[in-house]
């Protein structure tokens, strides 16, 4: 089109920041309109969370950090904990390491990454700890079937009924085994932990589109030192060169079809009544927000795009952090030498907890005392989803996180689980949480009232729906979309996918204005690992010995990572 455009980006999360960075490198005037009072979206850290989480040694100091002679340090430790835990309320993981730009940024920004080992503890429905042989047996079965399900979904995607779930596939496969009935029952219960990956029960996971849950090849890494440095790296150029407007929720986006010979602009109105005009607009709002706010687009969005937004589901994964004075469950833990017994613990269908029999109530937690030196802290991280997550969030919605009511509710919810861990004693102050914090993404309008996209039973054209959202209304009306829900298939639902989507949207705008696409890597296609015969490449969780990855040598360049 012969001129450098002005572009408005709605949102300031990872996809928005990457999009802005590429556009700025190509001479585009960029304005970001962010509803929150900070940048980063769910990866962002409020300024009150700058304090580092304590490690085990620090917690030994009386009256400081989490440590004290009493179990709950109300005056200082609880308030301190309520702030610092929010550093982890966003993503904890980097999914896949092969040609993953977030992995390279993490290494270049001296972010500590941790790869968990394969050990895990499993409690049966009665609350008894399974022996190692049984735990290994059912775990290996589950991940083998997941590998088979990825391949099956890819190979038979055109004929798998839309109503068939991953749970159906598990149940069919278990009947082909010669396991005992007890082992079969345990396998089915363990399969329900898939919900902690997608944010919804396994019974709602589409088998037809299960292939879209695959991640990039390589290992899954836990971001031990949080996404702080990664966010600073991605946001730095944008903060310096873009016009960033915080506390500006957008309520209306108006754009007619482009017409030859006329000046085309997109008008954006904020909740405060401010009105902005841009040549192009990139909407990076979460999928959940789009579902609830389609009326913000004037004229209304096309029917096919509206259908795509409705069709892709939005998960409800939440997290609870239980911070203790000491990691009582891990008597071998120290900041200098970690030999944790089992960082992962599963509690299968707990009959010792009151809940509706028809609902899945399985729980999963990770011991953060097993993180590397400098990052370890006496915390249990619980991932909750489905009915249990909905229950927790509904109960704490109106509660002050610093109140006894908030603490008591979360403690009552978690007590049946952490009280089954080794060395627990009801009389020990070390076995009572110093603080508790739960995410509430379901109550967060700007997070789309949920976590990230997933693919549920009944979905008919999931891959096409993603492609439709990528196209948006850019060519016709100058309104483009980015976000994890528009990522390449292996990046859907991930931070990497959000990053890629922002780069892709920037490239689309560069193309129509004949700009050079400076700063962009190679385009990532939609190929999936399960299309490759080597099934070992498709496991979403690679079980290998733990490693710690820290920063590269000082001065070493971070590559402009390709798709």
CATH classification of the domain holding 383 = 3.90.660.10
Which among 193, 197, 199, 114 has a CA at the least distance from the CA of 377?
A: 114
Token representation of residue 538:
């498709």
User: Span 326-346, mean pLDDT?
Assistant: 68
**Whether residue 389 sits in one domain with residue 494:** no
Query: How many Cα atoms are found within 13 Å in the side-chain-facing hemisphere of 438?
Result: 31
| Residues 488, 437 share a domain | no
Long-range pairs for 417-423 at CB < 8 Å and ≥24 separation? Answer: 417/345, 417/347, 417/350, 417/363, 417/365, 417/382, 418/322, 418/329, 418/365, 418/380, 420/123, 420/127, 420/129, 420/347, 421/328, 421/329, 421/345, 422/329, 422/331, 422/341, 423/328, 423/329, 423/331
Classify residue 226 as left (phi > 0), alpha (psi -120 to 50) or beta. Answer: left
Q: Clarify whether residues 335 and 308 are in a common domain.
A: no
pLDDT above 50 for 541: no
Residues 295 and 426 in one domain: no
For residue 74, what is the DSSP state? I
CA distances for 88 relative to 42, 236, 317, 332, angstroms? 10, 21, 14, 25
**pLDDT of 215-237, one tens digit each?**
999 999 999 999 999 999 999 99
One domain, residues 198 and 334? yes
> What's the pLDDT at 46?
57
- Residue-wise pLDDT for 349-403, tens only, equals 999 999 887 788 999 999 999 999 899 999 999 999 999 999 999 999 999 999 9
Q: What is the pLDDT of residue 114?
A: 95
Query: 561 lies in a domain?
Result: no
Compute CA 50 distance to the chain's CA centroid, rounded to the nearest angstrom.
21
From CA 267, how far away is CA 264, in angstroms rounded? Answer: 10
- Return d(Cα 77, Cα 325) in angstroms, integer: 10
Does the pLDDT value for residue 509 go beyond 50? yes
Structure-block tokens of residue 463: 């891959």
Q: What angle do CA 288, 291, 294 make, to 5 degrees?
A: 135
Looking at every residue in the chain, the average pLDDT score rounds to 87
Q: Where residue 471 sits, what CATH number does that domain have?
A: 3.50.50.60
The residue with greater pLDDT, 523 or 13, is: 13
- Whether 131 maps to a domain, the answer reads yes
Residue partners of 378: CB distance under 8 A and separation at least 6 = 56, 59, 66, 323, 324, 325, 326, 327, 333, 368, 369
Residue 533 reports pLDDT greater than 60: no
300 and 186 part of one domain:
no
Confidence of residue 1 (pLDDT cuts 50, 70, 90): low
Is the same domain home to 87 and 170?
Answer: yes
Does 66 share its domain with 158? yes
The residue from 446, 468, 487 where one domain ends is 446
Residue 289 has pLDDT above 60, yes or no: yes
Return the number of other C-beta atoms located less than 10 Å from residue 511's C-beta: 11
The Cβ of residue 107 has, within 10 Å, a number of other Cβ atoms equal to 18
Q: Provide the 8-state DSSP code for 199.
A: S
Output the pLDDT for position 535. 44
Counting the structural domains of the chain, the total is 2
- Based on the fold, state whether residues 171 and 76 are members of the same structural domain: yes
280-283 and 479-481 strand pairing: parallel
Note whether 241 and 308 are same-domain residues. Answer: yes
Question: What is the three-class DSSP state of 124?
Answer: coil
Cβ atoms of 145 and 170 closer than 8 Å: yes
The CA-atom distances, in angstroms, between 420 and each of 235, 311, 426 are 43, 41, 11
Query: Residues 194, 201: contact at Cβ < 8 Å?
Result: no
CA nearest 150: which of 544, 460, 563, 533? 533
Contact predicate 29/7, CB 8 Å: yes
The percentage of residues in the chain with a pLDDT greater than 70, rounded to a whole number, is 84
Q: Which two tokens mark 118? A: 């394969």
Residue 330 has what pLDDT? 86
Average pLDDT for 125-131: 96
In the predicted model, what is the mean pLDDT of residues 22-29?
98
In this structure, is residue 99 part of a structural domain? no
Contact 556, 108 (CB under 8 A): yes
Distance of CA 118 to the CA centre of its chain: 21
- Which positions ≥6 away from 340 have C-beta within 8 Å? 330, 332, 333, 367, 369, 370
Query: Does 165 share its domain with 77?
Result: yes
Domain with 38 in it: 6-44+233-312+459-526
Final residue of a structural domain among 446, 470, 489:
446
Q: Quick one: pLDDT at residue 523?
A: 82
- Identify the CA nearest to 15 among candidates 512, 481, 552: 481
* Nearest-angstrom CA–CA distance, 338 and 325: 18
Instruction: Print burial letters for 386-410: b (CB count within 10 Å at least 16), e (below 16).
Output: bbbbebbbebbeebebeeeebbebb
Q: Evaluate if residue 522 carries a pLDDT over 80.
A: no
pLDDT at 391: 96
- For Cα atoms 350, 355, 358, give the angle at the middle one, nearest 5 degrees: 95
Query: Radius of gyration of the chain from Cα atoms?
Result: 24
Max CA separation in the chain (angstroms): 79
Nearest to 282 by CA among 465, 58, 482, 48: 482
Under 8 Å between Cβ of 193 and 346:
yes
- Which pLDDT belongs to residue 181? 97
Residue 29, pLDDT > 80, answer yes
Residue 369 CA to residue 366 CA, distance in Å, equals 9
Confidence grade of residue 309 (pLDDT, cut at 50, 70, 90): very high
pLDDT of residue 342: 80
Residue 67 — very low, low, confident or very high, per pLDDT cuts 50/70/90? very low
- Annotate 5-15 with b (16+ C-beta within 10 A) or e (fewer): bbbbbbbbbbb
Q: Is 123 helix (H, G, I), strand (E, B) or coil?
A: strand
pLDDT at 299 over 60: yes
In a domain, 344, yes or no: yes
- At which of 446, 480, 501 does a domain end? 446
Question: How do residues 32-57 score in pLDDT, each as one tens digit?
Answer: 999 999 999 999 765 433 323 333 33
Element containing residue 319 per DSSP (H, E): strand 318-323
- Does some domain include residue 531? no
Kindly list the distances between the CA atom of residue 192 and the CA atoms of 119, 148, 159, 171, in Å, as whole numbers in the listed order.
Answer: 18, 17, 25, 11
| CA distance linking residue 379 with residue 59, whole number of Å | 12
Q: Tell me how far apart the alpha carbons of residues 93 and 221 are, in angstroms, rounded to a whole number.
A: 6
pLDDT of residue 545: 32
pLDDT at 76 over 60: no
Task: At 185, list the tokens.
Answer: 């029952």
Neighbours of 537 (CB within 10 A): 16
Question: 10 Å Cβ neighbour count for 551?
Answer: 15
99: left (phi over 0), alpha (psi -120 to 50) or beta: left
308 lies in the same domain as 319: no
Q: How many residues does the chain have?
A: 563
Q: Please, are residues 325 and 68 in contact by the beta-carbon 8 Å criterion?
A: yes
Residue 224 lies in a domain: no
């Amino acid at each position: 089109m012969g001129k450098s455009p002005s572009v408005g980006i709605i949102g300031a999360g990872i996809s928005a920041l990457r999009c802005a960075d590429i556009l700025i490198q190509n001479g585009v005037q960029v304005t970001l309109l962010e509803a929150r009072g900070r940048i980063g979206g769910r990866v962002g850290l409020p300024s009150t969370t700058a304090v580092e989480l304590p490690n085990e040694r620090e917690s030994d100091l009386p009256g400081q950090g989490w440590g004290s002679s009493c179990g709950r340090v109300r005056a200082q430790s609880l308030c301190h904990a309520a702030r610092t835990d929010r550093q982890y309320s966003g993503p904890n993981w980097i999914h896949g390491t092969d040609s993953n730009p977030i992995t390279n940024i993490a290494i270049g920004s001296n972010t500590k990454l941790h790869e968990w080992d394969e050990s895990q503890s499993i409690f049966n429905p009665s609350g008894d700890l399974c022996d190692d042989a049984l735990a290994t047996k059912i775990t290996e079965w589950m991940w083998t079937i997941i590998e088979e399900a990825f391949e099956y979904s890819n190979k038979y995607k055109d004929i798998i009924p839309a109503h068939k779930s991953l749970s159906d596939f598990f149940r069919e496969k278990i009947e082909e085994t010669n396991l005992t009935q007890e082992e079969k029952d345990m396998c089915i219960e363990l399969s329900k932990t898939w919900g902690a990956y997608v944010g919804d029960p396994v019974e709602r996971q589409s088998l037809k589109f299960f292939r879209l849950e695959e991640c990039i090849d390589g290992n899954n890494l836990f971001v031990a030192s949080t996404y702080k440095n990664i966010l600073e790296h991605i946001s730095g150029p944008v903060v310096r060169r873009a016009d960033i407007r915080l506390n500006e929720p957008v309520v209306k986006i108006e754009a007619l079809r482009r017409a030859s010979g006329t000046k085309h602009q997109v008008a954006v109105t904020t909740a405060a009544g401010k009105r902005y005009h841009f040549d192009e607009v990139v909407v990076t709002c979460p999928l959940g927000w789009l579902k609830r706010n389609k009326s913000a687009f004037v004229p209304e969005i096309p029917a096919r795009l509206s259908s795509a937004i409705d069709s892709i589901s939005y998960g409800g994964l939440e997290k609870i952090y239980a911070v203790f004075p000491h990691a009582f469950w891990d008597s071998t833990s120290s900041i200098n030498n970690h030999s944790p017994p089992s960082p992962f613990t599963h509690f299968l269908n707990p009959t010792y907890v009151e809940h509706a029999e028809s609902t899945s109530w399985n729980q999963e937690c990770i011991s953060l005392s097993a993180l590397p030196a400098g990052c370890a802290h006496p915390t249990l991280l619980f991932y909750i989803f489905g009915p249990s997550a909905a229950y927790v969030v509904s109960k704490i919605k109106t509660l002050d996180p610093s109140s006894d009511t908030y603490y008591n509710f979360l403690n009552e919810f978690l007590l049946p689980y952490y009280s089954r861990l080794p060395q627990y004693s009801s009389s020990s102050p070390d076995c009572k949480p110093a603080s508790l914090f739960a995410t509430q993404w379901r109550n967060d309008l700007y997070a789309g009232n949920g976590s990230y996209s997933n693919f549920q039973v009944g979905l008919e054209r999931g891959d096409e729906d993603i492609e439709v959202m990528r196209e948006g209304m850019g060519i016709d009306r100058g309104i483009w979309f980015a976000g994890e829900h528009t990522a390449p298939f292996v990046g859907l639902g991930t931070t990497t996918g959000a990053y890629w989507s922002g780069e892709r949207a920037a490239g689309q705008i560069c193309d129509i204005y004949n700009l050079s696409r400076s700063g962009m890597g190679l385009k990532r296609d939609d190929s999936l690992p399960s299309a490759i015969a080597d099934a070992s490449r498709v496991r979403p969780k690679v079980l290998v010995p733990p490693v710690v990855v820290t920063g590269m040598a000082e001065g070493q360049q971070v590559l402009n990572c390709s798709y």
